Structure 1
Amino acid sequence: MENFSFVNPVKIIFGKDTIQSLSKEIPAGSKVLITYGGGSIKRNGVYDQVVKALADFEWNEFSGIEANPHYETCMKAVQLIKEKNINYVLAVGGGSVIDATKFIVAAACFDGDDPWDILSKQATIKDALPFGTVLTISATGSEMNGGAVITKAETHDKLSFGSSKTYPKFSILDPEVTYSLPMKQVSNGVVDAFVHVVEQYVTYPVNAMIQDKFAEAILVTLITEGPKALETPENYDIRANLMWASTWALNGWIGCGVPEDWATHGIGHELTALYGLDHAQTLAIVLPGVLTVLKEQKAEKIIQFGEMVFGIYNNMSKEERINETINAVVNFFEEMQVKTRLSDYGLGQEAVNAVSNRIKERGWKLGEKENITADTVRQILTLRL
């Protein structure tokens, strides 16, 4: 196991009817800005619960945060914060709203000329406004980490940042609020969480047994409960397991002391930025290609993955076990109703060329060994046509 330092300061408040505890978590006298997306929280009753909990606070709201949050939209929220002298932000939504809020609270305190530098130049975040979250979608784990991904619509750039200053102070996780989600969002959320784990788990072994076992437990939970959620969307136990698994998939713990990949995300972000595909759709396209092209490098962990998660054992050759494991991943994504090829979304060779060219322009070398070049990306995506 490699050396590591681990701190996660986020307070988790989990369970039924927990939104009412908001008033105890936000400091008295705070001027609060509620951030949210397209308005589904008003249809499912979450908005009313939040407003009731904030009865003793002065608050404003900012809506319209996109599924892949735009820098331009975030900067409008920053302007509102300054106009209203907001000193606390409450993100109510899924990963996109929470990611946007992380950027908003950092940009509101940024002392440089252009807040986009936080992403494009990884400028140091010296301070950020405090914020909490009310999670409405199980997917990204953004409710318990300090990272975020933001898109600049003007240039079609989708970039990430992370800071110790952008951890939520608290996150409220009530599985019941996920009952009304469209099945597409449920499917996307499960795939997203699944790939988060794989990015930290299917690399190369460093004898980090605890992290591996946690990762395997999360993956088994997702493949067990994910399809059930599509069949019985109002089963509390299933939703609770998925919500907690998604949080643990990216709260930093399973990444302690182990090599991490993140090539699937890096490539997928370009597909989203250029073509508007859902984040999870891009992951479902790219991951099987990454595992196939890098299967010699990742062989030991793919075999472990197959055995411990999918039950693929020693009754076949090493090559067969690797291939069966990759097929099992594809089949799981398809079972979750997320298609796995570029052509499923009307994309062809032009997308392969565009994404690989962008990787080349950026000079990126991706993966746990930083050996995935633009040519490798072309090979990966060509396999997924």
Structure 2
Amino acid sequence: MLNFNFYNPTRILFGKDMLNNIDQLIPADANVLITYGGESAKKYGTLEKVKTALGNRRIHYFGGIEPNPHYETLLKAVEAVRHNRIDFLLAIGGGSVIDGTKFIALAASYEGEPLDLLHYGFTPIGPDTIKTAIPLGTVLTLPATGSEMNCGGVISYGQGKYPVFSELVFPRFSVLDPNLTFTLPKIQVANGVIDAFVHTTEQYLTYPVDGRIQDRISEGILQTLIEIGENTIAEPENYDARANLVWSATLALNGLICAGVPQDWATHMIGHELTSLYGIDHGQTLAILLPSLLEIRREQKHAKLLQYAERVWNITEGSEAVRINSAIQKTREFFESLGVKTRLSDYNISKDQLLVIIKQLKAHGMTALSETQDLSLDVSRKILENAL
């Protein structure tokens, strides 16, 4: 097992009606800005429930944070924070709203140019750059990204998606009430299942370092998602299925399963370019890319793919090559069972468009991806060609 430094201060309020407890976790004299996305927060009553739970606190609102939150939109929220002297942020939504709110928390406290905060990549922004951020909490309505229990976010600017990390923006608390997710469209639930699944594989399907606890937790998350994936889409008010999805998505990216093991975020990095260029949902890009990446990188991931085949899919017969083939195929079939297509051609992307994607990867510095930093642009091209 590799060395690691694990830290996660986020309090989780999980279950029915736990929203009522936020009154105890926000200062009574706080001046609160509630951030949210579209009209669903109003339409389904979540906004009103939050307002009631906040009691007599001063409340302001900022809506319209997009999927893949736009830098320009978030700057407007930063202006509102400064103008109204906001001292607590409360995000209502999924990963995009929460990611955007983290950026707002940092940028509103930053004395420099906010755009500079987008250029740290996977390196956490340190205290030499920014020492404080506005505290925030979250009310999760879309399980997928794990942003409710980590210190990272992804912000869209121009034709790029930029990771932003800082320990200053771990949420103080997150409310995870599965009931608040019942009204989600089926495609959003499917995307969330896939996002959580791929988050897990990118910390699990690398190379062995004898991280036995991390492997077994990862395998449990993957098995749970396989067990409840179709069910939670078909039966949106099945509380137990949705509760397991919510908690799986949180555990998939709260730092626990990546502690002490290698990580490979190539699927996400290439997927970001597909979203930026063609507007394909994030979860859909992952469903396209993961099976293809596993096929192209099967030698580098040989040992863990065999483990994945046996422990996750119960594939124990046949040669090693046959078992790996079967595990990759079952992964593709699982995504498709959720109603998500898994080929670039399904989204009208042809071979002559791949060069544009490669150029974008190069422009954004994605020239040496994977857990071993040997996934070059040529390999990315092979993955994309194989995904056609």
TM-score tier after normalising by the smaller chain length: over 0.9
Residue 222 of structure 2 corresponds to 219
Residue 89 of structure 2 corresponds to 89
Q: Which amino acid aligns with 2:131?
A: K
Residue 338 of structure 1 corresponds to 340
Q: 1:275 aligns with which of 267, 275, 278?
A: 278
For 1:167-223, what per-residue CA distance to the aligned partner results, in whole angstroms no more than 9, with x for missing partners? 000000000111111101110000000000000000000000000000000000001
Q: TM-score, normalised by structure 2?
A: 0.96
Q: Which amino acid aligns with 2:181?
A: T
Residue 111 of structure 1 corresponds to 111
Residue 314 of structure 2 corresponds to 311
Judge which range, 347-356 or 15-24, deviates more. Answer: 347-356
User: What pairs up with 1:279-358 in 2 under 5 angstroms?
Assistant: 279-313=282-316, 315-358=317-360
Residue 19 of structure 2 corresponds to 19
For 1:270-292, what per-residue CA distance to the aligned partner results, in whole angstroms no more than 9, with x for missing partners? 11111111110111111111111
Residue 126 of structure 1: how far off its partner (Å): 2.5
Give the Cα–Cα distance (whole angstroms) in 2 for the partners of residues 351 and 126 of structure 1. Answer: 43
Give the Cα–Cα distance (whole angstroms) in 1 for the partners of residues 22 and 363 of structure 2. Answer: 46
User: What pairs up with 1:39-118 in 2 under 5 angstroms?
Assistant: 39-112=39-112, 114-118=113-117
Runs of 4+ in 1 over 3 A off after TM superposition: 121-125
Q: Which amino acid aligns with 2:151?
A: G
Cα distance change of structure 1 residues 351 and 145 upon mapping to structure 2, 3 Å threshold: farther
Residue pair 2:120, 2:163 contacting (<8 A) in 1 also: no
Q: Which amino acid aligns with 1:103?
A: F
Structure 2 residue runs of 5 or longer lacking an equivalent are none
Residue pair 1:16, 1:174 contacting (<8 A) in 2 also: yes
For 1:32-75, what per-residue CA distance to the aligned partner results, in whole angstroms no more than 9, with x for missing partners? 00000011111212111001112210010000000110001100
Structure 1 residue runs of 5 or longer lacking an equivalent are none
Residue 362 of structure 1: how far off its partner (Å): 3.6
Q: 1:379 aligns with which of 379, 382, 388?
A: 382
SS of the equivalent of 1:365 reads coil
Judge which range, 186-195 or 343-352, deviates more. Answer: 343-352
User: What pairs up with 1:138-149 in 2 under 5 angstroms?
Assistant: 138-149=143-154
For 1:286-305, what per-residue CA distance to the aligned partner results, in whole angstroms no more than 9, with x for missing partners? 11111111100001101111
Residue 194 of structure 2 corresponds to 191
Residue 121 of structure 1: how far off its partner (Å): 4.0
1:131 aligns with 2:131: no
Q: 1:151 aligns with which of 150, 156, 162?
A: 156
Q: Which amino acid aligns with 1:357?
A: K
Number of matched pairs: 381
SS of the equivalent of 1:253 reads coil
SS of the equivalent of 2:61 reads strand
For 1:96-148, what per-residue CA distance to the aligned partner results, in whole angstroms no more than 9, with x for missing partners? 10000010100101122x21211124554422100000000111000000000
Give the Cα–Cα distance (whole angstroms) in 1 for the partners of residues 378 and 115 of structure 2. Answer: 29
SS of the equivalent of 2:103 reads helix
SS of the equivalent of 2:114 reads coil
SS of the equivalent of 1:34 reads strand
RMSD of equivalent CA atoms: 1.0
The sequence identity of aligned pairs, in percent, is: 51
